[in-house]
Structure 1
Amino acid sequence: MASEDIVQLTEAFAKTHVGEELSYKGQGLKLDNKQSVEKIVRDIEQFHGLKSLKLEGNTIGVEAAQAIAKALASKKELQRCYWSDMFTGRLRSEIPSALKSLSRALITSGAQLTELDLSDNAFGPDGVKGIEALLRSPVCYSLQELRLNNCGMGAEGGRILASALSDCYKQSHAAGSPLKLKVFVAGRNRLENDGATALAHAFKMIGSLEMVHMPQNGINHPGITALATAIQHNPNLCVLNLNDNTFTKRGAVAMAQALRDLRSVQVVNFGDCLVRSEGAIAIAAALREGLPVLKELNLSFGEISEAAALVVARAVRDKPDLEKLDLNGNCLGEDGCEALREAMESMSQGGVLTSLSDDEGEPDEEDEDEEDDDETPEEDEEEQSCVNGTDHGTGEGSPAKESLCSPDLLSFLHSPTSEKLLSLGDKRTQLFENQLNFSDAAKIAEVFLQISSVYKEDPEVKQAVLETTDTLLRKAFSSPHFQNYIFISSLMVNLGLLKGEVRFKKVPVLPGHLLVLEYCVGQEYFPVDQADVLEAFLSRNGKVLESCSSARDALKTTLEKRITV
């Protein structure tokens, strides 16, 4: 047999019997028409048992896509389509038509896809329309990985995609084989809140996600909060990457609440998400309560203070699998960076902490009161007042259910005095208990400060204040829906130990605030981990309480004893 015949036979054998993948990856082919894809079409047609087709790194026109589609219409075994970056230089109007041709072919073939990668194709919302029929079809009932990174989908494309995935799940479920999507990648798509919220509804329904990558999408706290709700319904989630979106406190708190109940999460990337110190405290609480197998945590470039960073560091001390903690680019300052390094070394985790070379330094004092959040005070006021008719943190308005409050209790809450507290009589504690919403930790913090503000060494007043606050906090910390870290954060914001996001009238700090807090901290119901948080901030920001130095020092001593015990 001639040598050229052997070569031809070997090639034919390879195409028909060996391997499962046909690849043209990265060949830079310009495929405009039917003639330009003759070889590819022939290869596809002759490749029996084709399971994987790689077309990325080429540029495919409408006519060329139609020719390839015709060949794919008989490939029932196809499972994996790697079709990223295959429309470079094409008019945006061409891409949907090409995608529809390929989609129809797959639907005709009856294939059962497990992977579909269309990343780096700038097709916009119209491109999503090009694949929505495919995503709704039985071809995608088996889909496990969907990658649409850097496609410029926008909010409209996100809504279309979410609708298609939701329909796919409903139809596949009805057919007895519900969609079990594991990997979803859609970074750099300008999804914004509307697109993210729509996708969150789909994720909640699907419930099988293990990896979610949605960085750089312009998502703010409403979209982040929706995604947080969704991931709670995906118990097998391992990787969550939302880098370079904008959480702020509300988004960070929502995410923290969601994460603490997930047992399989290994990687959390909230870098460049503006979680800020209050958000970092919430995430630290989630670290203490859950995330047992965490390997990587990225909270870089989040405007996190030194004290909040130390709270996070202490929260990871019991994470045996932790390999990487990224707190670079925050607001620690030189001393804060050194303190953080020392804290990690003391816990034998010095090698886990990444470089702090891009630290922003301590924030300027004149920036402390600036409001750069996307929330407005009016927005927050409306949100708070709809809960129970009060302004958050102002010291004005009642955090109780006003329509049911006694006039004497309302009078005290609007303008607290020791005389008004005593006038409530022996049933004062019961009055507070009956009227307060113990699931609202921020409001409980306000009431605590209002009651402790009337503290005096007069025996009758002292007893009334301590008994009332003790009973209220005992009940609060025993409530299953009470968020301890929100209570501590709210206290610290009001006391000036922590910069808050929302503008409000600061409470003038009195010795009574700190003395009553010291008493409560010493009680066994007060959580040790929250005492730890309070101690971290008091140790580093105690100068703001200089006017109450004696009470401040007493509180600090009690906190240290509580933590040590």
Structure 2
Amino acid sequence: MATTDDIAKLADALSKAHVGDGELSYKGKGLKMDSEDSVEDLVREIEQYQDLKALRLEGNTLGVEAARAIAKALEKKDQLQRCYWSDMFTGRLRSEIPTALRSLGGALMFAGARLTELDLSDNAFGPDGVKGIDQLLKSPSCHTLRELRLNNCGMGIGGGKILAEALIECHRESSALGAPLKLKVFIAGRNRLENEGACALAKAFKLMGSLEEVHMPQNGINYIGVMALASAMRHNPELRVLNFNDNTFTKRGTLAMAQALKHLRNIQVINFGDCLVRSEGAIALAAVLKEGLPILQELNLSFGEITEAAALVVAQPIAEKCHMEKLDLNGNCLGEEGCDALREAMELKDKGEMLASLSDDEGEPEDEDDEEDDDSDEEDEEDDSCNEASDEEGGSEKENGFINDDSPTKPTCSAEVLSFIASPTVEKLLQLGETRINVQQQVEASDPNKAVDLLLGVASLYCDDPESMEAVLETFDAVMKKCLSGSDLQSYCFLSTLLVTMGLLKGEGKVKKTQPVPGQLLCLDHAVQQNYFKADHASLLYTFLSKNTEVLKSCGSARDQLLSTLENNCS
């Protein structure tokens, strides 16, 4: 039975409930609605509201009996479109929540309501709670759904899968009726969805193709789930807001997201903060910023273990974005001098006010040794629910997190060319004669690691003999030109791999490094002066070389010559 105090609270709430535009609101009243009697006046108010379009019950606590009474009143409300039912079960047993949700959902279906918004955030109902709404989500009442908010509901992997199946079924049935589900806003942060839940939802997102905002922060998703989501995002061309804060991208996930962003020209807000984007990922994102994202306003790459040089590479295209309002690189590994350099770079472009605070910078990384990828142990444990999203883009995505849009077929090469590639020597190169031009045909943009190995292998043959030098430079040019002839993203990924291999950039996983020799730097010096080598590519190399001159100390004058050439090319 309701207390006198509860009834008084309810009466006061009802007196202020009508807010216009067909909305009835009890938001934040702290009402304890247990029994049918406790909601008698509320039910009467609902029944008497002729054109009820929105019902706000958030910030109260609803029991099973009270939910049934409210549901009965809603059975005649066919005009209802918006249900704001977040934070509605405080203090309730988890077993009560699905029953209450089924009552309310059943009433909406019975009434023939056509929902546009459903907010059930901050209800810790777990997978069972999702079962309480899956019939509603599959029904015609949700064929018109545009915004779905399920933030902080503890859905877990199981709930994510149930939700995905419900959305897929809703899309299937609505499409059969000629009006497919066009969900625009999806919010499901803090739900412990992990990879399996993320991969399941990715299938639904790809199917719908109508999303404009996706918020999935803090869900324990690593690169496996991130790659599946990235594959789905590229099929949603109207995306404006992408928020995956506090998940774990690492290199593979970030490269997949960068590839997806190439296809999304309406993005205004990107939040990849606290996602372990790291320096290689930041370089890939810089490439996408350079060639796309024309109306971007906010970019959050905070707390991502990004170093000074990579941050400066990101800042260059950001400063050219006319709609840009905020760049957040706080909490990275810039160091005091790096923070000053970043601020100076932004101020030189008259964009200093755009840069967020750097007060939580982690300082320069102490250990420059490569660390294994956080997800390396899981490389061979990808869930079947994720394989479909990865496989459709080709095996290269699974291996490198990088997609080759062109997917060229490698031409057949002579045994002599293959022998040279397997074990480069000057003698073999000279014996190839004019056929050495075919060496570059074995380069694939989707595999920058092999391309770099081949390039450095050729460059290591540099010597003073004129005939040999000419053959080396000609072959080096052919390979380098091929590596830089694709998109900016492909070129930047190749160059970042080159930097990692040469020890100028900290990489992920088990990285094969080579100790640079003067001949390799002299080949690079030659390449930088060629027409195919763009100024922004030179700028990228210069940024890292100038910050890591000690790594190339053994190369002496070749290092200084390359730095001078790069600096001139940048300017």
TM-score (norm 1): 0.91
Q: After the TM superposition, which residues 266-415 of structure 1 pair with which residues of structure 2 at under 5 Å, given as runs?
A: 266-365=268-367, 368-371=369-372, 373-376=374-377, 406-415=414-423
Secondary structure of the residue aligned to 1:184 is strand
Partner Cα separation in structure 2 for residue 25 and residue 137 of structure 1:
27
Deviations 1:459-496 (A, max 9, x none): 11111111112122223333469810111011000111
Partner Cα separation in structure 2 for residue 325 and residue 372 of structure 1:
26
C-alpha displacement at 1:14, in angstroms?
9.7
Which residue in the other structure is 2:6 paired with?
Answer: none
Of residues 414, 432, 450 in structure 2, which corresponds to 1:424?
432
Partner Cα separation in structure 1 for residue 19 and residue 213 of structure 2:
34
After superposition, the Cα gap between the structure-2 partners of 1:379 and 1:453, relative to the gap in structure 1 and judged at 3 Å, is farther
Partner Cα separation in structure 1 for residue 15 and residue 502 of structure 2:
78
After superposition, the Cα gap between the structure-2 partners of 1:482 and 1:181, relative to the gap in structure 1 and judged at 3 Å, is closer
Which residue in the other structure is 2:60 paired with?
Answer: 58
Deviations 1:2-60 (A, max 9, x none): xxxxxxxxx99999996411111111111111111111111111111000100011111
Secondary structure of the residue aligned to 1:457 is coil
Bigger mean CA offset, 261-270 vs 402-411: 402-411
- Which protein has greater RCO, CA pairs closer than 8 Å, 6+ apart? 2
C-alpha displacement at 1:410, in angstroms?
3.8
CA contact (8 A) 1:31 1:59 kept: yes
CA contact (8 A) 2:26 2:58 kept: yes
Deviations 1:207-264 (A, max 9, x none): 1111111000001011111111111111111111100000001111111111122111
After superposition, the Cα gap between the structure-2 partners of 1:25 and 1:532, relative to the gap in structure 1 and judged at 3 Å, is same
Q: After the TM superposition, which residues 433-448 of structure 1 pair with which residues of structure 2 at under 5 Å, given as runs?
A: 433-448=440-455
Which residue in the other structure is 2:236 paired with?
Answer: 234
Question: Identity, % of aligned pairs?
Answer: 62
Which residue in the other structure is 1:8 paired with?
Answer: none
Which residue in the other structure is 1:7 paired with?
Answer: none
C-alpha displacement at 1:402, in angstroms?
10
CA contact (8 A) 1:15 1:48 kept: no
Partner Cα separation in structure 2 for residue 217 and residue 528 of structure 1:
40
After superposition, the Cα gap between the structure-2 partners of 1:67 and 1:509, relative to the gap in structure 1 and judged at 3 Å, is same
Which residue in the other structure is 1:171 paired with?
Answer: 173
Secondary structure of the residue aligned to 2:354 is coil
Partner Cα separation in structure 2 for residue 141 and residue 135 of structure 1:
8
CA contact (8 A) 1:439 1:482 kept: no
CA contact (8 A) 1:449 1:513 kept: yes
Of residues 487, 491, 510 in structure 2, which corresponds to 1:484?
491
Give the unaligned 5+ runs of structure 2: 1-12, 382-389, 401-407
Q: After the TM superposition, which residues 27-106 of structure 1 pair with which residues of structure 2 at under 5 Å, given as runs?
A: 27-106=29-108
Which residue in the other structure is 1:140 paired with?
Answer: 142
Of residues 508, 517, 521 in structure 1, which corresponds to 2:515?
508
Partner Cα separation in structure 1 for residue 159 and residue 176 of structure 2:
26
Secondary structure of the residue aligned to 1:178 is coil
CA contact (8 A) 2:14 2:26 kept: no
Partner Cα separation in structure 2 for residue 561 and residue 170 of structure 1:
58
After superposition, the Cα gap between the structure-2 partners of 1:342 and 1:151, relative to the gap in structure 1 and judged at 3 Å, is same
Which residue in the other structure is 2:541 paired with?
Answer: 534
Instruction: Return the letter of the residue paired with 1:178.
Output: P
C-alpha displacement at 1:534, in angstroms?
0.9
Which residue in the other structure is 1:184 paired with?
Answer: 186
Secondary structure of the residue aligned to 1:294 is coil
Deviations 1:374-426 (A, max 9, x none): 2149869xx9xx969xx99xxxxxxx999965443344333322222223332
CA contact (8 A) 2:98 2:125 kept: yes
Secondary structure of the residue aligned to 2:352 is coil
| Aligned residue pairs, count | 539
Of residues 110, 115, 118 in structure 2, which corresponds to 1:116?
118
Partner Cα separation in structure 2 for residue 343 and residue 262 of structure 1:
27
Of residues 196, 199, 202 in structure 2, which corresponds to 1:200?
202
Of residues 455, 458, 476 in structure 1, which corresponds to 2:462?
455
CA contact (8 A) 2:52 2:77 kept: yes
Which residue in the other structure is 2:471 paired with?
Answer: 464
After superposition, the Cα gap between the structure-2 partners of 1:438 and 1:14, relative to the gap in structure 1 and judged at 3 Å, is closer
Bigger mean CA offset, 407-416 vs 264-273: 407-416
CA contact (8 A) 2:411 2:442 kept: no
Instruction: Return the letter of the residue paired with 2:254.
Output: A
Partner Cα separation in structure 2 for residue 538 and residue 80 of structure 1:
56
Which residue in the other structure is 1:395 paired with?
Answer: none
Deviations 1:285-329 (A, max 9, x none): 111011111111100000000000000111212111111110000
Secondary structure of the residue aligned to 2:506 is coil
C-alpha displacement at 1:372, in angstroms?
5.1
Partner Cα separation in structure 1 for residue 15 and residue 249 of structure 2:
55
CA contact (8 A) 2:483 2:494 kept: no
Of residues 533, 542, 555 in structure 1, which corresponds to 2:562?
555
Which residue in the other structure is 1:499 paired with?
Answer: 506
Which residue in the other structure is 2:405 paired with?
Answer: none
Secondary structure of the residue aligned to 2:254 is helix
C-alpha displacement at 1:159, in angstroms?
1.0
Partner Cα separation in structure 2 for residue 488 and residue 18 of structure 1:
58
Partner Cα separation in structure 2 for residue 454 and residue 16 of structure 1:
81
Secondary structure of the residue aligned to 2:484 is helix
Bigger mean CA offset, 312-321 vs 267-276: 312-321
C-alpha displacement at 1:345, in angstroms?
0.3
* RMSD, aligned α-carbons: 2.5
CA contact (8 A) 2:35 2:63 kept: yes
Instruction: Return the letter of the residue paired with 2:252.
Output: R
TM-score (norm 2): 0.90
Partner Cα separation in structure 1 for residue 266 and residue 451 of structure 2:
33
